[in-house]
Amino acid sequence: VIASAKDELRSTASFSWMGPYQIANYCLQNDTHLDEALTWIDQSISTGWGAQPNFSNLSTKAQILEKLDRPDEAKEAWAMALENATEFQRYQYGSNLIQQNKNEEAMEHFKASAEIYPDTWLSHAGLGAAHRVNGDLKKALKHYEMSLEKAPDQWKPGLETRINSVKESI
């Protein structure tokens, strides 16, 4: 796969940010060729036609740096990634922190996101999740209910499930 990808990058795939990003992400997901992956992700970020720093390639760089045990550089890459993140990408990042049991860090992240995106359904959903895992169920319920009021219809069943779960635990 890596040899094939290297061949692809010698063609038109190298002229867009996506080609180097895709092979770097493949290496990250398969925990292989991480030093080369770092070179490719840097290429995705800064060289070639359409190269651009964005949440996808910057967060991939951060994760590669974490796997290479370079935490200071990873932290810097995460900060840049979050500067380029959409509201939903920020929400996903915070949710991943919760999945990693980094609950206090998730709380700080969701608070910062709520300052950037005040009073949106996702900011309230994130704060609800952070308060829930940090043990403040009353605040979690309040934020989940505020989120439910503004959420798109397809998200309401999941929020209602969370609300019911929190109510049962109070």
Q: 13-22, 63-72, 74-83, 148-157: which range is least confident on average?
A: 13-22
Tokens encoding 139: 């605040």
- The confidence score (pLDDT) of residue 18 equals 80
Q: What residues contact residue 26 under an 8 Å CB cut-off, 6+ apart?
A: 1, 5
Task: Give the containing element (helix H, strand E) for 137.
Answer: helix 137-150
Using one digit for the tens of pLDDT, what is the confidence trace for 90-135? 999 999 999 999 999 999 999 999 999 999 999 999 999 999 999 9
Tokens encoding 20: 């180097």
Confidence at 12, pLDDT banded by 50, 70, 90:
low
**Residue 117 DSSP symbol:** S
10, pLDDT greater than 80: no
- The confidence score (pLDDT) of residue 143 equals 98
Using one digit for the tens of pLDDT, what is the confidence trace for 18-60? 888 999 999 999 999 999 999 999 988 986 555 678 999 999 9
Predicted TM-score of the model (pTM) = 0.83
